Amino acid sequence: MVATRITGTTSDFLPELRLGFENLRAHKLRSLLTMMGMIFGVAAVVAMLSIGAGAQQEVMAFIEQLGVRNLIVEARESTDYQVVQKVRQLSAGLTFRDYRVIEANLEGISASSARKRFTPSKLLPRPQSDPPVVYGVSPTYQRIANLQLVNGRFFTEAETNAAAPVAVLGEGAAASLFGADDPIGHHVKVNDQWFQVIGVGGPQLTVQADVAGLPAQDRNNLIYVPLHAAIFRLEDINSRYRDEIDGIYLQMRQGADVPAAAALLRGLLNVSHRGAADFAIVSPAELLAEQRRTQRIFEMVMVAIASISLLVGGIGIMNIMLASVMERTREIGVRRAIGAKKRDIIRQFLIETTIISLAGGVMGVVVGVGLSQLIGYLAGWSTIVTTTSIVLAFFVSVGIGLVFGLYPAARAARLDPVKALHYE
């Protein structure tokens, strides 16, 4: 009995499917124009979600590279003398004393490093692009920042204590200063001091805008030198405007409560700086969670905006199918007269709207993928076409097509067979 029921259903469905294709093929231009709303709606959903996913993934990858167990303190420095004087009445800025207080009072620290950063006024060899920025850091910075070396080594604690004139170049700095040559063993003159290159770092992710207190910085165009060498060997013409140190990197132990540590760190510095707000604390773990929440909200908003196009496409399908019902009134009357039931008429028209929606959805996905790639190429943006965006756009388009096809199908089924036969 089950086999008979399945066979009967299939034998009813296949002729109606063939009839649906024939009806759409008989009005090719009208069918194509009806699909246009679905095509552009699906393309808009796929393209907007891929652009958003690309931008969000770039930022999240950068935050993950910062280290989810890390905490970063950034000094908020100003070159305006009046602003500096006003801040100095409350706070001496970020200092080694702050660094020692943090190490003594913040539990769970596994590694830490202070930082002194500045842009040199003179460099030899001359850089072929933007001049690199000098980072004076401790050897532990390599582990905190997960800096991988492609050549040479990082400087040691002994070299840091001795303010040794050694340097590690970022990937971009090495290419800018030495081109394709191996820089290991060569010297770089920073202002009036010569530094021997002992290592070259691997590629680092960068972003083009500030991220929650972190200034935009090409992390590949850096020169790393021992912290004491940066302080004692290099001159800083703006030293009167600068803090003693301008950054502190902390790495917490595995399993440590990073948000709680960030709150305690903020409290310690607020007390010592007397509320001067001359620093920012960056917690990559909190940033990552916030970015994920932002991404979900962004995707929902983008889908809602792009779905307006799908809604317009659904209205177009309903209008065309209502016109089709009027044109085929006599055909419907003939089918009812020879025994077709209301559900057969409904199924016939729903099959046609489903074909339109499916075809529009498939073409819309193709157009959306192509559009996102084109936008990424022309604008230089990172775009990622996700399976979720394709499936979501496709099934929403099919759902809208079915929903808006129900009313014309129901109206066709409600036609009086006798009146339909006499309709001209």
What average pLDDT does range 282-287 have in this prediction?
80
Range among 33-42, 222-231, 368-377 with highest mean pLDDT value = 222-231
What's the pLDDT at 249? 93
pLDDT of 374 over the 50 cut: yes
What's the pLDDT at 109? 92
DSSP 212: T
* 398 compared with 164, residue with greater pLDDT: 164
Give whole-number Cα distances, 89 to 26, 93, 319, in Å. 84, 10, 72
pLDDT of 5 over the 50 cut: no
pLDDT of 213 over the 50 cut: yes
Question: Which residues pair with residue 189 across a beta bridge?
Answer: 124, 194
What average pLDDT does range 50-72 have in this prediction?
75
SS3 43: helix
What is the distance between the alpha carbons of residues 309 and 392, in angstroms, rounded to a whole number? 14
Per-residue pLDDT band at 168 (split at 50, 70, 90): very high
CB 169 within 8 A of CB 183: yes
Q: Domain spans of the chain?
A: 13-62+290-421, 77-277
What's the pLDDT at 151? 92
SS3 113: strand
Range in 152-156, 259-263, 415-419 the model is least confident about: 415-419
pLDDT of 416 over the 80 cut: no
pLDDT of 144 over the 80 cut: yes
CB 174 within 8 A of CB 221: no
pLDDT of 349 over the 50 cut: yes
What average pLDDT does range 212-238 have in this prediction?
80
Give whole-number Cα distances, 172 to 65, 129, 201, 218, 420, in Å. 17, 9, 9, 8, 77
What is the distance between the alpha carbons of residues 296 and 255, in angstroms, rounded to a whole number? 27
SS3 366: helix
SS3 187: strand
What's the pLDDT at 306? 66
Give the chain's mean pLDDT: 81
What's the pLDDT at 4? 36
Which among 192, 172, 191 has a CA at the least distance from the CA of 183? 172
Beta strands 187-190 and 123-124, pairing class: antiparallel
Which among 243, 361, 389, 226 has a CA at the least distance from the CA of 302? 389
pLDDT of 199 over the 90 cut: yes
pLDDT of 345 over the 60 cut: yes
What's the pLDDT at 353? 82
pLDDT of 195 over the 80 cut: yes
Which residue carries 């700095």 as its tokens? Answer: 173
DSSP 14-56: HHHHHHHHHHHHHTHHHHHHHHHHHHHHHHHHHHHHHHHHHHH
What is the distance between the alpha carbons of residues 224 and 212, in angstroms, rounded to a whole number? 24
What's the pLDDT at 16? 66
Q: How many other C-beta atoms lie within 10 A of the C-beta of residue 160?
A: 21
46: exposed, middle or buried (C-beta count within 10 Å: 0-12, 13-18, 19+)? buried
Range among 49-63, 102-116, 230-244, 287-301 with highest mean pLDDT value = 102-116
DSSP 241: G
Token pair for 409: 């199908």
* 12 compared with 76, residue with greater pLDDT: 76
CB 182 within 8 A of CB 213: no
pLDDT of 201 over the 50 cut: yes
SS3 360: helix
What's the pLDDT at 209? 53
What is the distance between the alpha carbons of residues 282 and 284, in angstroms, rounded to a whole number? 6
Q: How far apart are the first and last CA of the chain?
A: 43
pLDDT of 186 over the 50 cut: yes
DSSP 286: H
Per-residue pLDDT band at 235 (split at 50, 70, 90): low
What average pLDDT does range 178-191 have in this prediction?
92
Per-residue pLDDT band at 135 (split at 50, 70, 90): very high
What average pLDDT does range 67-92 have in this prediction?
80
What's the pLDDT at 1? 37
* 315 compared with 221, residue with greater pLDDT: 221
Which residue carries 């965006």 as its tokens? Answer: 389
What is the distance between the alpha carbons of residues 251 and 407, in angstroms, rounded to a whole number? 62
What's the pLDDT at 212? 57
What's the pLDDT at 236? 65
pLDDT of 217 over the 50 cut: yes
